[in-house]
Structure formats: C-alpha cells, structure tokens
C-alpha cells in the first residue's frame, strides 16, 4: 500500500504592510492546527515580516485604501467626506497602525513577531527569496532566527510540489 502524503499549503508573502502580514500567519496557524504542512515564502516587501529591524515596525497607511473600513473615533473612513480627508493628515499612518495593533491585541491576536515564533515552533517552514535578499543587500543575520533559509524561487517551487499555493 502506498504511503499517503500529508496535505501541504504554501503561502507567498509579498507585502510588508501590517494588514497584509496577518492573512498568511492566521491561515498558516489554522492549517498547522488541522495537521496540514505549512511553508511560507517571503519575497519583496514580505521580507519585512522576518527582518529583525522591520518586523516590529510594520505599518498600515489609510491613504489610497478604498476599502479601509476601520473607524476613526466612530466615523467610517473612505475616499469621500471628512473622514477620508483625515487620512492624509500627518500622523494618520501612525494612528492607523497603533489602532490596528490595539484592536488585534484586544482580540488576543499575537503580534507578527510572536506569530512567526509560534509558526516556527509548531513546524512551519519559512524561507526568504534569494533574489530579493540579494537585491535589497540583506544578509542571513538580518533575519529572525525562525527563517529556515534563503532559497531561490525555483527551490521554493520544488519544495512545495503538490501543495496548495496562496499568494498574498
């Protein structure tokens, strides 16, 4: 009888905004909890999630986000009206970032660094994109210790043969 291969899901994280960090981390954690193998590939600004100097400084800017529904002192933000105009004021990125982190903490959602540690400890494999690392002039010591290695896109494709791949 042939050995059955475990389900496998792979995430490609290409964005370093605070709100774009969480989808792969949350879904990866849920997948691990369901016994699914998880691999995460960080490329371009997604490398910020595993870069020591950036991981704790991720932000979310309300500018240009047409679907940004976070309330600002009870007023919905958007492209039209006073709340939308408020998004261009100095300090709104810092405020929006603080507000999202506060909401996540209130819900018991771990910060990005802690999520990376939890995923690693639970068996997720995490890789940085070699081309992006070279392009940005980064070195192995710039990354969190949870990053398993820096690999080429081709290596990642080989590692995730048969996996469901989600691009974020």
Instruction: Write the CATH number for 37.
Output: 3.40.1260.10
Domain presence at residue 2:
no
What domain range includes position 56? 8-167
Q: pTM of this prediction? A: 0.85
Domain contains 1: no
132 inside domain: yes
Note whether residue 3 is domain-resident.
no
- Is the residue at 52 inside a domain? yes
Domain assignment present for 103: yes
How many of the other CB atoms lie within 10 Å of CB of 127? 22
* Assigned domain for 99 exists: yes
Q: Check residue 3 and give its pLDDT.
A: 67
pLDDT value of residue 67 = 61
pLDDT for res 81: 44
3-state secondary structure at position 144:
coil
Count of domains for the chain: 1
Q: Is residue 62 situated within a structural domain?
A: yes
Distance (Å, whole) CA 86 – CA 83: 5
Residues 140-144: contacts with CB under 8 Å, at least 24 apart: 142/51, 142/52, 142/53, 143/47, 143/50, 143/51, 143/52, 144/50, 144/51, 144/52, 144/55, 144/113, 144/116, 144/117
- Per residue of the chain (168 residues), give pLDDT as tens: 556 788 999 999 999 999 999 999 999 999 999 999 999 999 999 999 999 999 999 998 877 666 665 554 454 544 444 456 666 777 878 888 888 899 889 999 999 999 999 999 999 999 999 999 999 999 999 999 999 999 999 999 999 999 999 999
């Amino acid at each position: 009888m042939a050995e059955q291969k475990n389900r496998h899901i792979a995430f490609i994280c290409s964005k370093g905004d605070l709100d774009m960090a969480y989808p792969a981390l949350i879904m990866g954690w849920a997948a691990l909890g369901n016994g699914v193998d998880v691999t995460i590939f960080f490329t371009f600004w997604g490398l910020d999630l595993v870069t020591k100097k950036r991981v704790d400084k991720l932000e979310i800017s309300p500018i240009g986000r047409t679907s940004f529904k976070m309330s600002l002192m009870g007023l919905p933000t958007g492209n039209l009206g006073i709340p939308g105009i408020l998004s261009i004021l100095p300090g709104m990125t810092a405020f929006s970032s603080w507000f999202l982190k506060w909401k996540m903490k209130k819900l018991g959602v771990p910060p990005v660094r802690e999520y990376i540690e939890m995923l690693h400890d639970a068996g997720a494999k995490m890789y940085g994109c070699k081309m992006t690392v070279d392009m940005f002039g980064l070195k192995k010591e710039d990354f969190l210790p949870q990053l398993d290695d820096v690999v080429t896109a081709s290596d990642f494709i080989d590692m995730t043969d048969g996996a469901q791949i989600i691009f974020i």
